[in-house]
Structure formats: structure tokens, C-alpha cells
Amino acid sequence: MTTLTNLPSILVPLVGLVFPAFSIASLFLHVQKNKIF
């Protein structure tokens, strides 16, 4: 039960780091594919 209570404290920073990085990476790949700049 201790791991279940500690799970949000691990998940919140993980999602907070992974989700912006994934969105930036997908945006960068989208720009590279379309050659906008």
C-alpha cells in the first residue's frame, strides 16, 4: 500500500517532464518534415 500512495509523487514530475518534451519533439519533427523554416 505504501507504493500506491507514493505513486502520484513519482508520476506527477514524470508526466510534467515527459509530456512537454514529447510535445516539443513532435512539433520539431513536424516542422522538419514540412520544411517551414
Query: In this predicted model, what pLDDT tens digit does every residue of 1-37 receive, in sequence order?
Result: 566 777 888 889 888 999 999 999 999 999 888 876 5
| Residue 16 confidence (pLDDT) | 92
| Residue 26 confidence (pLDDT) | 95
HSE toward the beta carbon, residue 30, CA cutoff 13 A: 6
Determine the Cα–Cα distance for residues 3 and 32; give it in Å rounded to an integer.
41
Residue 37 CB partners (closer than 8 Å, separation 6+): 31
Determine the Cα–Cα distance for residues 34 and 22; give it in Å rounded to an integer.
18
| Residue 2 confidence (pLDDT) | 65
Determine the Cα–Cα distance for residues 6 and 8; give it in Å rounded to an integer.
6
Determine the Cα–Cα distance for residues 33 and 19; give it in Å rounded to an integer.
21
